[in-house]
Structure 1
Amino acid sequence: MTAPVRLKSWVRAVFVAACALAVSACAELERQGQVFTAPIPPTKPAPPRMDNRSSVQHKELVAQFGGEYQAPAAERYLNEILVKLAGASDTPGQPAYRVTILNTPVVNAFALPSGNLYVTRGLLALATDASEAAAVMAHEIAHVTLRHSALRAEREREAALISQAATVIQNKQKGEEVRSSQRLSVASFSRQQELDADATGVRVIARAGYDPYGASRFLTALGRSTELRAALYGKKKSSLDYDIMSTHPSTPDRVAKAIAAARQIGAPGVGTRDRNGYLAAINGVAFGDDPMEGYVRDRKFTHPRLRFTFTAPEGVLLENSNEAVFGVRQADNEALRLDSVRDPHFESLETYVGSGWVDGLMQSSVKKIDVNGLPAVTAIARAGEWNFRLAVIQSGDFLYRLIFAAKALTDGADKSFMESIMTFRRVTPEEAHEAHGLKISVVAAAPGDSVETLSSRMVTPNRPVEYFRLLNGLEDADPVTPGEHYKIVTE
């Protein structure tokens, strides 16, 4: 991360990023103060799996998505669903799939021909019942059984050959038309693959005894999740729409087609959803960021492994990613970024700040300061219509770079930025050891409970009512039902 920081493009990216608020841990299923365990109906045990987990591809995928997450109850429950899906498959000779849960809040799933199927714990948090989880897994297996990977690779090879041929055509405009036409063909083909996998998945889960409408419900939740993240971070609705070059159809289109496929099977109400069984299985699953990779609590970010913490200015929404910590304060058109680089061992911090990693630096503003016993340098930079307050703080083998952006760097804004910089400090070994994330807790609604009372128990820092409705598949007007079980996010 030693490449120059292009400030204007970075700020633009911060304000359009669709971010995933969350954090991680373990839980318990409650009913009016007493632990309640929802019954999980006995199912045929999953067959032993060949040791595909030792493959290089498996190890690479697991490493890419945060490692394997250990949740024995959830894994066992999902494997029991896979046994039923195998019995209802269009291809009975397919390998016996087994699930690996990935330690990331990103909502994703995929399957390999080897028999490995992967779901993220972010997906487990978003799904509300067994039929939704079954729909996702059946969809991913359908991509394998329909040979989509091989077919897409073949089309991409054809596209590359045609594109190369187009470059030697003397008429440049004609060449561009050929390349554009071929790209559109590949994109359309990929969208059709997604729809075919959706339709196949709906048929398979219905034959396995699950509610075929689970697919459309989960796709609807995906759309709502995107809209909520966009609302939090100021992304325009139009920028969420899939353009013509997208390799996936838009969510509304997929929802409509998934509903149509389910209606060919029967009216709503057919098949099992097993909501209680599913909730019991994911009870205690970590929610959001792995705390050892850094986590957000309100305006405070803490990284136990790197042993530092800092607090953002009032009103800033923080989001952690592999690349950096980002923050947005929409009302004032302000943003922040925190990242780190290994100490490049410049002669001084002042020399490093002026070494070219940031554009628009005002050399006269560079000032050496002390931040809670750590050597640091602050400075100001300007790029276009944006002004920046910078800080580079040295701690151990790393330099931590804080960049605050504002359209107008007023005295008030600069004061709040400096106050935030001064909150940066090392955490003690005891603090690092006590770090813990958030978890999914499943609770029963008591008489008198409402969406508002249950969501007030949520630890999400922003819009708890909307997150409660999203995680539980509730529309705006839907009430909670006494005795029913619901997901909340707790510490």
Structure 2
Amino acid sequence: MSAVEASQGAQAHRLGPLRRLAAFACALALGAVVAGCASDRIGFGAGTSPTLPASAPKVTGVEPLSAREHKKLVSNFGGEYRSPVAERLLNDVMKRVAGATDRPDQQYQVTILNSPVVNAFALPSGNLYVTRGLLALANDTSEVAAVMAHEVAHVTLNHAMQRAELERRSEIVSRVVAEVLNDSDAQQVVQARGKLTLASFSRAQELEADQIGVRTIAKAGFDPFGAARFLASLGRQSSMRATMLGEKPNQGPNFLSTHPSTPERVAQALAAARQIRAPGIGETDRDHYLQAIAGMTFGDDPSEGVVRGNRFLHPQLGFAFSAPASFVLENSSSAVLGLAPGGAQALRFDSVKMPDGMTLQSYIVSGWIEGVEVGPVESITVNGLPAVTAVAKGDEWTFRLAAVQSGQSTYRFILAAKNYTPDMDRQFRDAVESFHLMSSGESAAVKPLRIGLVTAQAGDTVETLAERMATDRPVERFQLLNGIERNGPVRPGSTYKVIVE
């Protein structure tokens, strides 16, 4: 949660209907944050700009649209992450990838985004973005080249524009049925069909971009099997997340998803690579890649707050709290979100500025969540800070609400549960009462995690190398970050990633 977002007005953070809080729990359970491609969600604009002759007069003092777009995107993803060595490698790879496409004259500039989320996207302006979360998951240069080629394929094929046009036509048909024919039942049928059509269309786009990406990196001299390896790592990440939440990993294709399931994409990427050449022939450049990302920040940036197990600490804003022990926490730009295994309990924590003249007592009943009845308000003190708490009930969910005031900021807890029990309420109250202002020493002790490298020696195993991991689930995370299958061996003399403080 950034300092900028934490200072937004209360109205901007107000939650909508009850279903919206349930929706964020569902979104967390589905593992939405590990999507490996965002190009169908971030618009490409109206297309490429016409090329002007070199002699054309230049307008000064006006920022180009592409520059404004770039700044906005970078801001939305945590800012730009500076790593000269990694940037140089990525731009060199991008030149090779671009030269192997159907538009070798197109120039691209790669930006590393300061986000732990695994994501990448390209714009027709020639800007290509990868998150440091994606760089941490990749294990060699050919894997990153595959991601770049996939995103460039979306651009050259005008996938975003095609999808936007399909959405527009579907919306028009739905509106005609509802407003002209005055048939709400038929409108629901049309909307359902439109969603299925759009999902099928987007899935086809992803698979098409995968196929072109594999052929492109092979033409550029990289190992075409890099795409399948990266997709397999993405699938393992999704499976680990599902396990943490007490769910079964998605098996087989999900035909209602806009993205094909990872197993389906891995299988098709493997098939495409095998048609080109046998494994072990193309360039992987593993050692060079690992050296380029060594020392990069891993996970949350302390300036945005960090998750450590079930704790959240924000050294810049100077506060910390602990969620119930079973919760999986995630830090977004505007709030900390948490989910218990199975999705029956959820948490939202954020910071707002109350309207002038409003008391905590009146604020907590001011309608944070629509459609619920707030019970009696209890005034409490949380580690020396004034606070209020109350229980609110909806049709399916029960909420423990709390607001803690510190200076000009008001910190809000919204903890939700189905089948609310006294023991659950005690855990929720403990979470609220764990909130405290951090001392200067506590804040200074919060250091970013970083990517380190270790060379396996004779006798080393996954378990012995994982002992160096400064994370929870060290063995699982070591296997995930290094593309090692369950029970897979480590090779003496090979270099592996570890997460260190």
Q: Cα offset for 1:53? A: 10
Aligned to 1:300: 311
Secondary structure of 1:301's aligned partner = strand
Taking every aligned residue pair, what percent have the same amino acid on both sides? 51
1:419 aligns with 2:427: no
Q: Cα offset for 1:325? A: 2.0
The CA distance in 1 between the partners of 2:299 and 2:165, in whole Å, is: 37
Matching residue within 113, 119, 122 for 2:130: 119
Structure 1 pair 96/287, CA: closer, same or farther in 2 (3 Å)?
Answer: same
Structure 1 pair 62/53, CA: closer, same or farther in 2 (3 Å)?
Answer: farther
Q: Which runs of 5+ in 2 are unaligned?
A: 1-11, 35-62
For residue 468 of structure 1, what is the amino acid of its counterpart? Answer: F
* Larger CA deviation: 390-399 vs 174-183: 174-183
TM-score norm. by structure 2 comes to 0.82
Matching residue within 347, 350, 358 for 1:339: 350
The CA distance in 2 between the partners of 1:240 and 1:426, in whole Å, is: 47
For residue 276 of structure 2, what is the amino acid of its counterpart? Answer: I
* Larger CA deviation: 233-242 vs 217-226: 233-242
Q: Which runs of 5+ in 1 are unaligned?
A: 23-50
Structure 1 pair 9/96, CA: closer, same or farther in 2 (3 Å)?
Answer: closer
* Larger CA deviation: 352-361 vs 440-449: 352-361
Aligned to 2:86: 74
Secondary structure of 2:410's aligned partner = strand
Aligned to 2:498: 488
The CA distance in 1 between the partners of 2:439 and 2:252, in whole Å, is: 42
The structure with higher relative contact order (CA 8 Å, sep 6+) is 1
The CA distance in 1 between the partners of 2:175 and 2:431, in whole Å, is: 52
The CA distance in 1 between the partners of 2:187 and 2:392, in whole Å, is: 43
> Is the contact made by 1:346 and 1:352 (CA closer than 8 Å) also made in structure 2?
no
Structure 1 pair 332/151, CA: closer, same or farther in 2 (3 Å)?
Answer: closer
TM-score norm. by structure 1 comes to 0.84
1:148 aligns with 2:193: no
> Is the contact made by 1:99 and 1:116 (CA closer than 8 Å) also made in structure 2?
yes
Structure 1 pair 54/435, CA: closer, same or farther in 2 (3 Å)?
Answer: farther
Structure 1 pair 59/445, CA: closer, same or farther in 2 (3 Å)?
Answer: same
Matching residue within 6, 9, 17 for 2:28: 17
The CA distance in 2 between the partners of 1:225 and 1:289, in whole Å, is: 17
Q: Paired residues, what number? A: 458
Q: Cα offset for 1:355? A: 2.7
> Is the contact made by 1:52 and 1:116 (CA closer than 8 Å) also made in structure 2?
no
Q: CA RMSD in A?
A: 3.0
Secondary structure of 2:203's aligned partner = helix
Secondary structure of 2:104's aligned partner = coil
Secondary structure of 2:88's aligned partner = helix
The CA distance in 2 between the partners of 1:385 and 1:161, in whole Å, is: 35
Matching residue within 365, 370, 373 for 1:360: 373
1:194 aligns with 2:206: yes
The CA distance in 2 between the partners of 1:446 and 1:332, in whole Å, is: 42
* Larger CA deviation: 209-218 vs 192-201: 192-201
Aligned to 1:41: none
1:85 aligns with 2:97: yes
For residue 250 of structure 1, what is the amino acid of its counterpart? Answer: S
> Is the contact made by 1:371 and 1:393 (CA closer than 8 Å) also made in structure 2?
yes
> Is the contact made by 1:342 and 1:398 (CA closer than 8 Å) also made in structure 2?
yes
The CA distance in 1 between the partners of 2:151 and 2:100, in whole Å, is: 15
Aligned to 1:219: 231
After the TM superposition, which residues 443-482 of structure 1 pair with which residues of structure 2 at under 5 Å, given as runs? 443-461=454-472, 463-482=473-492
> Is the contact made by 1:15 and 1:233 (CA closer than 8 Å) also made in structure 2?
no
After the TM superposition, which residues 302-321 of structure 1 pair with which residues of structure 2 at under 5 Å, given as runs? 302-321=313-332
Q: Cα offset for 1:390? A: 3.2
Q: Cα offset for 1:5? A: 6.7
